[in-house]
Amino acid sequence: MAKRILVVEDNDLNRKLFCDVLKANGFEVEPVADGELALNAARAFAPDLVIMDIQLPNISGLDLIVAFKQDASLTDTPILAVTAYAGKGDEDRIRDAGAKDYLSKPVSISPFMAAVKNLLED
């Protein structure tokens, strides 16, 4: 059975790219454009992995990671954080919030897929 990945990304092109690459690699993918819909989507979809943009409208990706970790049904789901704004200390804050791994944009396909496969193997 295909592993299920929830992609939380407000940028249409990035969301499409992530989803297309993941589908081409045999994953079942659920795209979410609005962070405020992500928790409910995750509860319904029961993903094996969440790919989370940090810069989202209406809600911070960091706050969303914390919310995922506080939800009993999602607490063990690994989160791969992806952000264009990688400043000093950002990686620590993202990992402290509960993300298992972190990539900065622009994301290259090879490191992206390596991170996905690594998190799904844990």
How many structural domains is the chain composed of?
1
- Confirm if 93 and 54 have CB atoms less than 8 A apart: no
Residue-by-residue pLDDT tens, the chain, 122 positions:
899 999 999 999 999 999 999 999 999 999 999 999 999 999 999 999 999 999 998 899 999 999 999 999 999 999 999 988 767 788 899 999 999 999 999 999 999 999 999 999 97
Range(s) of the domain holding residue 69: 4-121
20: left (phi over 0), alpha (psi -120 to 50) or beta: alpha
CATH number of the domain at 103, please. Answer: 3.40.50.2300
